A and B are shown apart, each in its own frame.
Chain A
Amino acid sequence: MLLIPCPFCAMDRPEAEFRHAGEAHLTRPPDPAAADDAAWADFLYHRANPRGVIAERWRHVHGCGRFINVLRDTVSDRILASYRPGEKRP
Protein backbone atom coordinates (compact mmCIF):
# COMPACT_ATOMS: atom_id res chain seq x y z
CA MET A 1 0.00 0.00 0.00
CA LEU A 2 1.34 3.40 -0.98
CA LEU A 3 1.89 6.19 1.51
CA ILE A 4 0.76 9.32 -0.31
CA PRO A 5 1.72 12.83 0.83
CA CYS A 6 -1.37 15.05 0.56
CA PRO A 7 -0.31 18.65 -0.19
CA PHE A 8 -3.54 20.01 1.34
CA CYS A 9 -3.49 17.97 4.56
CA ALA A 10 0.34 18.22 4.68
CA MET A 11 0.53 14.60 5.87
CA ASP A 12 1.53 11.19 4.52
CA ARG A 13 -1.70 9.21 4.35
CA PRO A 14 -2.31 5.54 3.35
CA GLU A 15 -3.45 4.75 -0.19
CA ALA A 16 -6.76 3.40 1.15
CA GLU A 17 -7.84 6.99 1.86
CA PHE A 18 -7.42 7.92 -1.81
CA ARG A 19 -9.00 7.03 -5.11
CA HIS A 20 -6.83 6.93 -8.21
CA ALA A 21 -8.04 9.32 -10.90
CA GLY A 22 -5.84 8.61 -13.91
CA GLU A 23 -3.07 10.40 -15.76
CA ALA A 24 -2.61 14.08 -14.84
CA HIS A 25 -2.30 17.13 -17.10
CA LEU A 26 -4.65 15.86 -19.82
CA THR A 27 -6.38 18.82 -21.44
CA ARG A 28 -9.79 18.60 -22.98
CA PRO A 29 -9.81 19.96 -26.57
CA PRO A 30 -10.28 23.73 -26.06
CA ASP A 31 -12.80 24.02 -28.90
CA PRO A 32 -14.79 20.74 -28.71
CA ALA A 33 -16.78 21.30 -31.89
CA ALA A 34 -13.59 21.87 -33.90
CA ALA A 35 -11.73 18.80 -32.55
CA ASP A 36 -11.70 15.82 -34.92
CA ASP A 37 -12.12 12.15 -33.94
CA ALA A 38 -8.36 11.64 -33.61
CA ALA A 39 -8.07 14.51 -31.14
CA TRP A 40 -10.94 13.11 -29.08
CA ALA A 41 -9.40 9.61 -29.11
CA ASP A 42 -6.17 11.15 -27.87
CA PHE A 43 -7.91 12.95 -25.01
CA LEU A 44 -10.27 10.12 -24.03
CA TYR A 45 -8.24 6.97 -24.56
CA HIS A 46 -4.56 7.32 -25.44
CA ARG A 47 -2.28 7.30 -22.40
CA ALA A 48 1.47 7.66 -21.95
CA ASN A 49 1.56 4.63 -19.61
CA PRO A 50 5.29 5.15 -19.02
CA ARG A 51 7.70 2.66 -17.53
CA GLY A 52 9.29 5.31 -15.32
CA VAL A 53 7.98 8.55 -13.84
CA ILE A 54 4.25 9.18 -14.25
CA ALA A 55 2.24 12.25 -13.26
CA GLU A 56 -1.12 11.10 -11.98
CA ARG A 57 -4.14 12.40 -10.13
CA TRP A 58 -5.47 11.02 -6.88
CA ARG A 59 -8.52 12.16 -4.95
CA HIS A 60 -8.27 12.20 -1.16
CA VAL A 61 -11.83 10.86 -0.81
CA HIS A 62 -11.54 9.83 2.85
CA GLY A 63 -9.61 12.96 3.83
CA CYS A 64 -9.86 16.48 2.49
CA GLY A 65 -11.83 15.30 -0.55
CA ARG A 66 -9.61 17.21 -2.96
CA PHE A 67 -7.80 16.17 -6.14
CA ILE A 68 -4.02 16.16 -5.96
CA ASN A 69 -1.20 15.46 -8.42
CA VAL A 70 1.50 12.94 -7.65
CA LEU A 71 4.77 12.01 -9.39
CA ARG A 72 5.48 8.30 -9.02
CA ASP A 73 8.05 5.90 -10.46
CA THR A 74 6.00 3.06 -11.98
CA VAL A 75 8.84 0.54 -11.64
CA SER A 76 9.64 1.02 -7.94
CA ASP A 77 6.24 2.58 -7.00
CA ARG A 78 8.25 5.21 -5.09
CA ILE A 79 6.49 8.60 -4.83
CA LEU A 80 8.78 11.47 -5.85
CA ALA A 81 6.54 14.50 -5.25
CA SER A 82 2.96 15.63 -4.75
CA TYR A 83 1.55 19.02 -5.66
CA ARG A 84 -1.73 20.89 -5.98
CA PRO A 85 -3.72 20.96 -9.21
CA GLY A 86 -2.84 24.03 -11.24
CA GLU A 87 0.74 24.02 -9.99
CA LYS A 88 3.53 23.22 -12.44
CA ARG A 89 4.87 19.66 -12.53
CA PRO A 90 8.08 19.77 -10.41
Chain B
Amino acid sequence: MTSDTLVARRRPTLTEHRAVLLACGIVYLAVALWFWHNQVIPSDSTSRLANAYYTLFSRDPHLAAVGFVWNPLPSLILLPFLPLKVLLPALTQQSLLAPLVSAAFMTATVGVVHDLLRRMTLTRTPRLILTAAFALNPMTVLYAGNGMSEACFLLFLLLATRALYQWLTVRKVESLVPAGLAIALAYGARYEALAPVVALPVVVALVTWRLGGTGSRAALARVDAVIAGLPGVLAVVLWAVASKIIVNQWFATFSSEYGNSAQVSSGSTGISSVTGDDLGGRLAYWSQQWLGLAPLLLVLLVLAAILAWRARNPGILAPVTILGSVLAFDALAFLTGMSFGWLRFQITLIPLGVLLAGHVLATWRPLGTARVAVTLTLALLAIPSTLYTLTQPELAREESEYVTAAGSARRSDLARVDARVAADLDAMNLPDGAVLADAAVAYGVILASDHPHGFVTTPDRDFPGAVTDPRGHNIRYLLLSADAPTDAVRTGRYGPDAASVPVTGVRTWSDAYGNLQWTLIAA
Protein backbone atom coordinates (compact mmCIF):
# COMPACT_ATOMS: atom_id res chain seq x y z
CA MET B 1 0.00 0.00 0.00
CA THR B 2 1.45 3.36 -0.97
CA SER B 3 1.37 6.30 1.38
CA ASP B 4 -1.16 7.97 -0.95
CA THR B 5 -3.74 5.29 -0.37
CA LEU B 6 -3.04 5.42 3.33
CA VAL B 7 -3.80 9.13 3.37
CA ALA B 8 -6.86 8.60 1.20
CA ARG B 9 -8.13 5.93 3.59
CA ARG B 10 -7.43 7.99 6.65
CA ARG B 11 -9.14 11.13 5.54
CA PRO B 12 -12.81 10.07 5.65
CA THR B 13 -12.57 8.71 9.20
CA LEU B 14 -10.68 11.82 10.25
CA THR B 15 -13.32 14.15 8.87
CA GLU B 16 -15.96 11.86 10.30
CA HIS B 17 -14.25 12.05 13.66
CA ARG B 18 -14.14 15.83 13.53
CA ALA B 19 -17.77 15.99 12.49
CA VAL B 20 -18.76 13.81 15.45
CA LEU B 21 -16.79 16.03 17.82
CA LEU B 22 -18.24 19.20 16.34
CA ALA B 23 -21.82 17.94 16.45
CA CYS B 24 -21.51 16.75 20.05
CA GLY B 25 -19.70 19.91 21.04
CA ILE B 26 -22.56 22.05 19.76
CA VAL B 27 -25.31 19.91 21.30
CA TYR B 28 -23.59 19.68 24.67
CA LEU B 29 -22.79 23.38 24.69
CA ALA B 30 -26.46 24.09 24.15
CA VAL B 31 -27.38 21.74 27.01
CA ALA B 32 -24.79 23.40 29.24
CA LEU B 33 -26.19 26.81 28.48
CA TRP B 34 -29.69 25.52 29.17
CA PHE B 35 -28.65 24.33 32.63
CA TRP B 36 -27.03 27.66 33.32
CA HIS B 37 -29.84 29.75 31.90
CA ASN B 38 -32.44 27.96 33.97
CA GLN B 39 -30.16 27.91 37.02
CA VAL B 40 -30.67 24.21 37.61
CA ILE B 41 -26.98 23.38 37.89
CA PRO B 42 -26.72 20.62 40.54
CA SER B 43 -25.31 21.63 43.89
CA ASP B 44 -22.44 19.13 43.57
CA SER B 45 -21.25 20.93 40.42
CA THR B 46 -21.39 24.28 42.17
CA SER B 47 -19.60 22.92 45.19
CA ARG B 48 -16.74 21.48 43.10
CA LEU B 49 -16.43 24.79 41.30
CA ALA B 50 -16.37 26.53 44.67
CA ASN B 51 -13.59 24.21 45.86
CA ALA B 52 -11.47 25.41 42.97
CA TYR B 53 -12.52 29.01 43.60
CA TYR B 54 -11.30 28.97 47.23
CA THR B 55 -7.76 28.10 46.17
CA LEU B 56 -7.44 31.37 44.25
CA PHE B 57 -10.03 33.87 45.42
CA SER B 58 -10.86 33.14 49.04
CA ARG B 59 -9.56 35.20 51.93
CA ASP B 60 -6.83 32.58 52.46
CA PRO B 61 -5.91 31.29 49.01
CA HIS B 62 -3.87 28.07 49.08
CA LEU B 63 -3.97 24.89 47.03
CA ALA B 64 -5.07 22.68 49.91
CA ALA B 65 -8.26 24.76 50.04
CA VAL B 66 -9.47 22.50 47.24
CA GLY B 67 -10.44 20.19 50.06
CA PHE B 68 -10.04 16.48 50.64
CA VAL B 69 -13.59 15.24 50.87
CA TRP B 70 -14.00 14.95 47.12
CA ASN B 71 -11.29 13.82 44.77
CA PRO B 72 -9.65 16.94 43.42
CA LEU B 73 -9.30 16.65 39.65
CA PRO B 74 -12.70 18.05 38.59
CA SER B 75 -11.88 21.13 40.68
CA LEU B 76 -8.19 21.41 39.78
CA ILE B 77 -9.00 21.29 36.11
CA LEU B 78 -11.11 24.43 36.51
CA LEU B 79 -8.24 26.45 37.98
CA PRO B 80 -6.75 27.77 34.72
CA PHE B 81 -10.15 29.06 33.64
CA LEU B 82 -11.13 30.78 36.88
CA PRO B 83 -9.32 34.08 36.17
CA LEU B 84 -11.63 34.48 33.15
CA LYS B 85 -14.32 35.50 35.63
CA VAL B 86 -12.97 39.00 35.24
CA LEU B 87 -14.29 38.97 31.70
CA LEU B 88 -17.40 36.92 32.37
CA PRO B 89 -18.51 37.00 36.03
CA ALA B 90 -21.25 34.42 35.35
CA LEU B 91 -18.52 31.78 35.00
CA THR B 92 -18.22 31.65 38.77
CA GLN B 93 -21.07 33.69 40.19
CA GLN B 94 -23.64 31.62 38.32
CA SER B 95 -21.48 28.48 38.08
CA LEU B 96 -21.40 28.63 34.27
CA LEU B 97 -17.86 27.29 34.15
CA ALA B 98 -18.85 23.87 35.54
CA PRO B 99 -21.27 22.91 32.73
CA LEU B 100 -18.99 24.36 30.06
CA VAL B 101 -16.15 22.14 31.23
CA SER B 102 -18.33 19.04 31.59
CA ALA B 103 -19.61 19.63 28.05
CA ALA B 104 -16.01 19.70 26.80
CA PHE B 105 -15.22 16.51 28.72
CA MET B 106 -18.24 14.66 27.41
CA THR B 107 -17.45 15.75 23.85
CA ALA B 108 -13.98 14.28 24.26
CA THR B 109 -15.54 11.13 25.73
CA VAL B 110 -17.72 10.69 22.65
CA GLY B 111 -14.58 11.17 20.57
CA VAL B 112 -12.89 8.31 22.41
CA VAL B 113 -15.94 6.03 22.02
CA HIS B 114 -16.06 6.80 18.31
CA ASP B 115 -12.35 6.13 17.94
CA LEU B 116 -12.60 2.88 19.88
CA LEU B 117 -15.44 1.68 17.63
CA ARG B 118 -13.22 2.50 14.65
CA ARG B 119 -10.42 0.44 16.17
CA MET B 120 -12.90 -2.41 16.56
CA THR B 121 -13.00 -2.21 12.72
CA LEU B 122 -16.69 -1.35 12.54
CA THR B 123 -17.88 0.02 9.22
CA ARG B 124 -19.17 3.54 8.99
CA THR B 125 -22.92 3.13 9.50
CA PRO B 126 -22.88 0.91 12.59
CA ARG B 127 -19.96 2.94 13.92
CA LEU B 128 -21.92 6.17 13.68
CA ILE B 129 -25.12 4.64 15.00
CA LEU B 130 -23.38 3.20 18.03
CA THR B 131 -21.53 6.48 18.64
CA ALA B 132 -24.90 8.19 18.58
CA ALA B 133 -26.34 5.54 20.89
CA PHE B 134 -23.82 6.72 23.46
CA ALA B 135 -23.70 10.41 22.61
CA LEU B 136 -27.45 10.93 22.48
CA ASN B 137 -28.41 8.77 25.44
CA PRO B 138 -30.27 11.11 27.78
CA MET B 139 -27.92 10.28 30.66
CA THR B 140 -24.92 11.26 28.53
CA VAL B 141 -26.58 14.46 27.39
CA LEU B 142 -27.63 15.41 30.94
CA TYR B 143 -24.20 14.81 32.43
CA ALA B 144 -22.53 16.59 29.53
CA GLY B 145 -24.40 19.74 30.41
CA ASN B 146 -24.86 19.77 34.18
CA GLY B 147 -21.27 20.32 35.27
CA MET B 148 -20.94 17.19 37.39
CA SER B 149 -17.73 15.16 37.63
CA GLU B 150 -19.25 12.21 35.72
CA ALA B 151 -18.10 13.56 32.35
CA CYS B 152 -14.51 13.89 33.53
CA PHE B 153 -14.67 10.43 35.11
CA LEU B 154 -16.12 8.83 31.98
CA LEU B 155 -13.46 10.41 29.79
CA PHE B 156 -10.62 8.87 31.76
CA LEU B 157 -12.38 5.52 32.07
CA LEU B 158 -12.85 5.38 28.32
CA LEU B 159 -9.30 6.48 27.63
CA ALA B 160 -8.21 3.58 29.83
CA THR B 161 -10.62 1.26 28.04
CA ARG B 162 -9.25 2.28 24.67
CA ALA B 163 -5.63 1.81 25.75
CA LEU B 164 -6.39 -1.57 27.32
CA TYR B 165 -8.25 -2.62 24.17
CA GLN B 166 -5.21 -1.62 22.16
CA TRP B 167 -2.98 -3.66 24.42
CA LEU B 168 -5.26 -6.70 24.33
CA THR B 169 -5.45 -6.72 20.55
CA VAL B 170 -1.97 -5.54 19.53
CA ARG B 171 -0.10 -6.51 22.73
CA LYS B 172 2.41 -3.67 22.64
CA VAL B 173 3.43 -2.98 26.20
CA GLU B 174 3.53 0.77 25.56
CA SER B 175 -0.30 0.78 25.55
CA LEU B 176 -0.33 -0.15 29.21
CA VAL B 177 1.16 3.23 30.08
CA PRO B 178 -1.79 5.35 28.93
CA ALA B 179 -4.15 2.76 30.44
CA GLY B 180 -2.47 3.08 33.83
CA LEU B 181 -2.26 6.86 33.65
CA ALA B 182 -5.90 7.19 32.65
CA ILE B 183 -7.00 5.10 35.62
CA ALA B 184 -4.86 7.25 37.91
CA LEU B 185 -6.58 10.33 36.54
CA ALA B 186 -9.97 8.65 36.85
CA TYR B 187 -9.21 8.20 40.54
CA GLY B 188 -8.44 11.88 40.61
CA ALA B 189 -12.00 12.43 39.48
CA ARG B 190 -13.99 9.92 41.55
CA TYR B 191 -13.11 7.38 44.19
CA GLU B 192 -15.06 4.61 42.41
CA ALA B 193 -11.94 4.31 40.26
CA LEU B 194 -10.52 2.28 43.15
CA ALA B 195 -12.14 -0.69 41.42
CA PRO B 196 -10.23 -0.42 38.11
CA VAL B 197 -7.09 0.58 40.04
CA VAL B 198 -7.25 -3.01 41.28
CA ALA B 199 -8.94 -4.69 38.32
CA LEU B 200 -6.67 -3.35 35.59
CA PRO B 201 -3.36 -4.79 36.86
CA VAL B 202 -5.05 -8.04 37.84
CA VAL B 203 -6.53 -8.57 34.37
CA VAL B 204 -3.29 -7.47 32.69
CA ALA B 205 -1.30 -9.93 34.79
CA LEU B 206 -3.71 -12.77 34.02
CA VAL B 207 -3.66 -12.06 30.29
CA THR B 208 0.13 -11.84 30.15
CA TRP B 209 0.42 -15.00 32.19
CA ARG B 210 -2.10 -16.83 30.00
CA LEU B 211 -0.94 -15.56 26.61
CA GLY B 212 2.65 -14.64 27.39
CA GLY B 213 5.26 -16.16 25.13
CA THR B 214 8.30 -18.08 26.27
CA GLY B 215 10.39 -17.41 29.34
CA SER B 216 9.24 -16.61 32.81
CA ARG B 217 5.57 -15.82 32.32
CA ALA B 218 4.94 -15.14 35.99
CA ALA B 219 7.74 -12.57 36.10
CA LEU B 220 6.50 -10.93 32.89
CA ALA B 221 2.98 -10.86 34.30
CA ARG B 222 4.30 -9.14 37.40
CA VAL B 223 6.07 -6.45 35.40
CA ASP B 224 3.04 -5.82 33.19
CA ALA B 225 0.83 -5.57 36.25
CA VAL B 226 3.19 -3.00 37.76
CA ILE B 227 3.26 -0.96 34.53
CA ALA B 228 -0.54 -0.95 34.37
CA GLY B 229 -1.13 -0.57 38.08
CA LEU B 230 1.58 1.69 39.44
CA PRO B 231 0.09 5.05 38.38
CA GLY B 232 -3.29 4.20 39.89
CA VAL B 233 -1.84 2.88 43.12
CA LEU B 234 0.34 5.96 43.33
CA ALA B 235 -2.67 8.23 42.83
CA VAL B 236 -4.51 6.51 45.67
CA VAL B 237 -1.51 6.60 47.99
CA LEU B 238 -0.61 10.20 47.21
CA TRP B 239 -4.09 11.50 47.71
CA ALA B 240 -4.33 9.60 50.98
CA VAL B 241 -0.97 10.87 52.22
CA ALA B 242 -1.77 14.45 51.23
CA SER B 243 -5.08 14.18 53.10
CA LYS B 244 -3.37 12.70 56.11
CA ILE B 245 -0.80 15.50 56.20
CA ILE B 246 -3.21 18.36 55.67
CA VAL B 247 -6.48 17.32 57.29
CA ASN B 248 -5.22 14.33 59.30
CA GLN B 249 -7.50 11.80 57.63
CA TRP B 250 -6.34 9.12 55.22
CA PHE B 251 -9.61 8.92 53.29
CA ALA B 252 -11.70 11.96 54.06
CA THR B 253 -14.41 10.81 51.67
CA PHE B 254 -15.15 7.98 54.05
CA SER B 255 -14.24 9.52 57.37
CA SER B 256 -14.90 13.28 57.21
CA GLU B 257 -18.03 14.75 58.72
CA TYR B 258 -18.71 16.12 55.25
CA GLY B 259 -17.86 12.91 53.45
CA ASN B 260 -19.91 10.29 51.76
CA SER B 261 -20.26 7.91 54.69
CA ALA B 262 -21.44 10.69 56.96
CA GLN B 263 -23.93 11.85 54.39
CA VAL B 264 -25.22 8.35 53.84
CA SER B 265 -25.71 7.78 57.52
CA SER B 266 -27.28 11.17 58.17
CA GLY B 267 -29.57 10.71 55.19
CA SER B 268 -30.10 7.00 55.61
CA THR B 269 -33.72 7.28 56.62
CA GLY B 270 -34.36 9.25 53.46
CA ILE B 271 -32.54 6.74 51.32
CA SER B 272 -34.12 3.68 52.79
CA SER B 273 -37.60 5.17 52.50
CA VAL B 274 -37.08 5.00 48.75
CA THR B 275 -34.86 2.00 48.32
CA GLY B 276 -36.02 -0.26 51.07
CA ASP B 277 -34.08 -1.19 54.14
CA ASP B 278 -33.13 -4.77 53.51
CA LEU B 279 -30.86 -6.34 50.96
CA GLY B 280 -33.85 -7.57 48.95
CA GLY B 281 -35.30 -4.07 48.70
CA ARG B 282 -31.99 -2.61 47.65
CA LEU B 283 -31.39 -5.35 45.14
CA ALA B 284 -34.80 -4.73 43.59
CA TYR B 285 -34.18 -0.98 43.45
CA TRP B 286 -30.74 -1.42 41.98
CA SER B 287 -31.99 -3.85 39.31
CA GLN B 288 -34.72 -1.41 38.35
CA GLN B 289 -32.13 1.29 37.78
CA TRP B 290 -29.94 -1.12 35.86
CA LEU B 291 -32.79 -2.31 33.64
CA GLY B 292 -33.90 1.26 33.14
CA LEU B 293 -30.53 2.44 31.85
CA ALA B 294 -29.51 -0.66 29.91
CA PRO B 295 -32.42 -3.02 29.52
CA LEU B 296 -30.68 -5.55 27.27
CA LEU B 297 -27.14 -5.27 28.52
CA LEU B 298 -27.06 -8.84 29.79
CA VAL B 299 -28.13 -10.15 26.40
CA LEU B 300 -25.36 -8.14 24.75
CA LEU B 301 -22.85 -9.29 27.34
CA VAL B 302 -23.62 -12.98 26.87
CA LEU B 303 -23.64 -12.66 23.09
CA ALA B 304 -20.39 -10.68 23.06
CA ALA B 305 -18.73 -13.15 25.42
CA ILE B 306 -19.70 -16.16 23.30
CA LEU B 307 -18.53 -14.48 20.10
CA ALA B 308 -15.30 -13.29 21.70
CA TRP B 309 -14.60 -16.81 22.88
CA ARG B 310 -15.28 -18.24 19.42
CA ALA B 311 -13.17 -15.61 17.68
CA ARG B 312 -10.46 -15.81 20.37
CA ASN B 313 -10.68 -12.03 20.59
CA PRO B 314 -9.75 -10.79 24.06
CA GLY B 315 -10.70 -7.16 23.28
CA ILE B 316 -13.99 -7.56 25.13
CA LEU B 317 -12.04 -7.67 28.38
CA ALA B 318 -11.26 -3.95 28.03
CA PRO B 319 -14.73 -2.48 28.61
CA VAL B 320 -15.69 -5.29 30.97
CA THR B 321 -12.62 -4.74 33.15
CA ILE B 322 -12.69 -0.96 33.32
CA LEU B 323 -16.38 -0.08 33.15
CA GLY B 324 -17.58 -3.33 34.67
CA SER B 325 -15.38 -2.98 37.73
CA VAL B 326 -16.76 0.51 38.40
CA LEU B 327 -20.29 -0.88 38.14
CA ALA B 328 -19.44 -3.72 40.45
CA PHE B 329 -17.93 -1.35 42.98
CA ASP B 330 -21.00 0.87 43.00
CA ALA B 331 -23.32 -2.11 43.20
CA LEU B 332 -21.42 -3.52 46.15
CA ALA B 333 -21.33 -0.15 47.91
CA PHE B 334 -25.04 0.31 47.46
CA LEU B 335 -26.13 -3.22 48.31
CA THR B 336 -24.12 -3.10 51.53
CA GLY B 337 -25.74 0.20 52.44
CA MET B 338 -22.68 2.38 51.98
CA SER B 339 -23.93 4.61 49.20
CA PHE B 340 -26.88 6.66 48.10
CA GLY B 341 -27.79 4.56 45.11
CA TRP B 342 -27.96 7.54 42.85
CA LEU B 343 -28.82 6.69 39.27
CA ARG B 344 -25.63 8.36 38.05
CA PHE B 345 -23.55 5.74 39.83
CA GLN B 346 -24.68 3.42 37.04
CA ILE B 347 -23.79 5.77 34.19
CA THR B 348 -20.99 3.44 33.02
CA LEU B 349 -23.74 1.09 31.84
CA ILE B 350 -24.27 3.39 28.85
CA PRO B 351 -20.79 3.17 27.30
CA LEU B 352 -20.52 -0.47 28.36
CA GLY B 353 -23.65 -1.39 26.38
CA VAL B 354 -22.44 0.49 23.32
CA LEU B 355 -18.98 -1.06 23.40
CA LEU B 356 -20.36 -4.56 23.91
CA ALA B 357 -22.58 -4.03 20.86
CA GLY B 358 -19.50 -2.82 18.98
CA HIS B 359 -17.65 -5.93 19.99
CA VAL B 360 -20.53 -8.15 18.86
CA LEU B 361 -20.44 -6.50 15.44
CA ALA B 362 -16.66 -6.85 15.28
CA THR B 363 -16.72 -10.59 15.96
CA TRP B 364 -20.02 -11.93 14.58
CA ARG B 365 -19.26 -13.75 11.31
CA PRO B 366 -20.82 -13.91 8.81
CA LEU B 367 -22.36 -10.56 9.60
CA GLY B 368 -25.57 -10.13 7.64
CA THR B 369 -27.86 -7.10 7.68
CA ALA B 370 -30.25 -8.82 10.04
CA ARG B 371 -27.57 -9.45 12.63
CA VAL B 372 -26.38 -5.85 12.38
CA ALA B 373 -29.93 -4.62 12.81
CA VAL B 374 -30.55 -6.86 15.84
CA THR B 375 -27.34 -5.73 17.56
CA LEU B 376 -27.96 -2.05 16.92
CA THR B 377 -31.53 -2.36 18.17
CA LEU B 378 -30.34 -4.02 21.36
CA ALA B 379 -28.03 -1.04 21.93
CA LEU B 380 -30.46 1.66 20.88
CA LEU B 381 -33.28 0.42 23.11
CA ALA B 382 -31.38 1.94 26.01
CA ILE B 383 -32.33 5.44 24.83
CA PRO B 384 -36.13 5.31 25.25
CA SER B 385 -35.75 3.21 28.36
CA THR B 386 -33.36 5.75 29.93
CA LEU B 387 -35.68 8.57 28.97
CA TYR B 388 -38.50 6.84 30.83
CA THR B 389 -36.33 6.12 33.86
CA LEU B 390 -35.25 9.75 34.17
CA THR B 391 -38.83 10.89 34.62
CA GLN B 392 -39.32 8.51 37.55
CA PRO B 393 -38.47 10.55 40.65
CA GLU B 394 -38.09 7.35 42.68
CA LEU B 395 -35.37 5.89 40.44
CA ALA B 396 -33.78 9.12 39.26
CA ARG B 397 -33.94 11.04 42.50
CA GLU B 398 -31.36 13.63 41.47
CA GLU B 399 -31.94 13.76 37.73
CA SER B 400 -35.68 14.28 38.06
CA GLU B 401 -34.84 17.47 39.95
CA TYR B 402 -33.88 19.10 36.69
CA VAL B 403 -35.80 17.22 34.07
CA THR B 404 -39.19 17.63 35.71
CA ALA B 405 -40.87 21.04 35.97
CA ALA B 406 -41.42 20.90 39.73
CA GLY B 407 -37.87 19.74 40.39
CA SER B 408 -36.21 22.38 38.28
CA ALA B 409 -38.36 25.09 39.85
CA ARG B 410 -37.16 23.98 43.31
CA ARG B 411 -33.54 23.85 42.21
CA SER B 412 -33.46 27.24 40.50
CA ASP B 413 -35.22 28.80 43.45
CA LEU B 414 -32.44 27.66 45.78
CA ALA B 415 -29.86 29.19 43.44
CA ARG B 416 -31.82 32.42 43.52
CA VAL B 417 -31.90 32.41 47.33
CA ASP B 418 -28.11 31.94 47.45
CA ALA B 419 -27.62 34.83 45.04
CA ARG B 420 -29.99 36.96 47.13
CA VAL B 421 -28.02 36.23 50.32
CA ALA B 422 -24.77 37.12 48.54
CA ALA B 423 -26.20 40.38 47.18
CA ASP B 424 -27.60 41.40 50.57
CA LEU B 425 -24.32 40.66 52.34
CA ASP B 426 -22.38 42.56 49.65
CA ALA B 427 -24.68 45.53 50.19
CA MET B 428 -23.72 45.61 53.88
CA ASN B 429 -20.18 46.66 52.87
CA LEU B 430 -18.55 44.50 55.51
CA PRO B 431 -14.77 44.36 55.99
CA ASP B 432 -12.76 41.26 55.04
CA GLY B 433 -13.42 38.20 57.17
CA ALA B 434 -16.56 39.54 58.81
CA VAL B 435 -18.92 36.64 58.03
CA LEU B 436 -18.33 33.12 59.27
CA ALA B 437 -19.82 30.42 57.05
CA ASP B 438 -19.30 26.70 56.44
CA ALA B 439 -18.10 26.28 52.88
CA ALA B 440 -19.66 22.83 52.67
CA VAL B 441 -23.13 24.41 52.76
CA ALA B 442 -22.59 28.08 51.84
CA TYR B 443 -20.55 27.51 48.64
CA GLY B 444 -23.34 28.93 46.48
CA VAL B 445 -23.42 32.13 48.51
CA ILE B 446 -19.64 32.57 48.48
CA LEU B 447 -19.43 31.96 44.73
CA ALA B 448 -22.22 34.42 44.02
CA SER B 449 -20.72 37.13 46.20
CA ASP B 450 -18.82 40.07 44.73
CA HIS B 451 -16.75 40.12 47.88
CA PRO B 452 -15.55 36.58 48.64
CA HIS B 453 -12.93 37.91 51.05
CA GLY B 454 -15.77 38.90 53.34
CA PHE B 455 -16.17 35.25 54.39
CA VAL B 456 -14.18 33.12 56.76
CA THR B 457 -14.82 29.61 55.49
CA THR B 458 -13.89 26.00 56.17
CA PRO B 459 -10.68 25.79 54.12
CA ASP B 460 -9.27 28.96 55.75
CA ARG B 461 -6.60 28.00 58.20
CA ASP B 462 -8.12 30.17 60.95
CA PHE B 463 -11.60 28.66 60.53
CA PRO B 464 -11.53 26.21 63.46
CA GLY B 465 -10.44 29.02 65.78
CA ALA B 466 -13.11 31.33 64.43
CA VAL B 467 -15.84 28.75 65.09
CA THR B 468 -14.92 28.42 68.76
CA ASP B 469 -14.24 32.13 69.28
CA PRO B 470 -15.87 34.26 66.57
CA ARG B 471 -15.40 37.63 68.25
CA GLY B 472 -11.76 36.95 69.00
CA HIS B 473 -11.32 36.47 65.25
CA ASN B 474 -13.07 39.73 64.28
CA ILE B 475 -16.14 37.88 63.05
CA ARG B 476 -19.24 40.08 63.03
CA TYR B 477 -21.84 37.70 61.69
CA LEU B 478 -22.54 34.00 61.47
CA LEU B 479 -24.34 32.70 58.41
CA LEU B 480 -26.39 29.68 59.45
CA SER B 481 -28.12 27.18 57.20
CA ALA B 482 -31.60 26.21 58.34
CA ASP B 483 -31.16 22.45 58.43
CA ALA B 484 -27.96 21.20 56.77
CA PRO B 485 -26.72 18.54 59.21
CA THR B 486 -23.05 19.24 58.46
CA ASP B 487 -23.06 23.01 58.98
CA ALA B 488 -20.15 23.39 61.40
CA VAL B 489 -20.91 27.04 62.11
CA ARG B 490 -24.46 26.33 63.18
CA THR B 491 -23.75 23.13 65.07
CA GLY B 492 -20.82 24.88 66.73
CA ARG B 493 -23.19 27.43 68.17
CA TYR B 494 -26.51 25.60 68.53
CA GLY B 495 -25.70 21.92 68.46
CA PRO B 496 -26.91 19.33 65.97
CA ASP B 497 -30.63 19.94 66.42
CA ALA B 498 -31.91 21.90 63.41
CA ALA B 499 -34.93 23.02 65.40
CA SER B 500 -32.75 25.23 67.59
CA VAL B 501 -31.81 27.53 64.73
CA PRO B 502 -33.15 31.03 65.43
CA VAL B 503 -35.95 31.96 63.08
CA THR B 504 -35.16 35.62 63.52
CA GLY B 505 -31.76 37.28 63.40
CA VAL B 506 -30.09 40.21 61.75
CA ARG B 507 -31.60 38.82 58.58
CA THR B 508 -33.30 35.65 57.36
CA TRP B 509 -33.87 34.32 53.88
CA SER B 510 -36.56 31.88 52.81
CA ASP B 511 -37.28 30.10 49.56
CA ALA B 512 -40.31 30.66 47.35
CA TYR B 513 -42.29 28.13 49.37
CA GLY B 514 -41.70 30.04 52.58
CA ASN B 515 -39.14 27.59 54.02
CA LEU B 516 -36.39 29.25 56.01
CA GLN B 517 -33.01 28.72 54.27
CA TRP B 518 -30.48 31.08 55.89
CA THR B 519 -30.19 33.06 59.09
CA LEU B 520 -27.62 35.76 59.74
CA ILE B 521 -26.89 36.35 63.41
CA ALA B 522 -24.48 38.68 65.18
CA ALA B 523 -21.34 37.03 66.49
Do A and B truly interact?
no
Q: Which residues of B contact A (CB under 8 A)?
A: none
Q: Which residues of A contact B (CB under 8 A)?
A: none
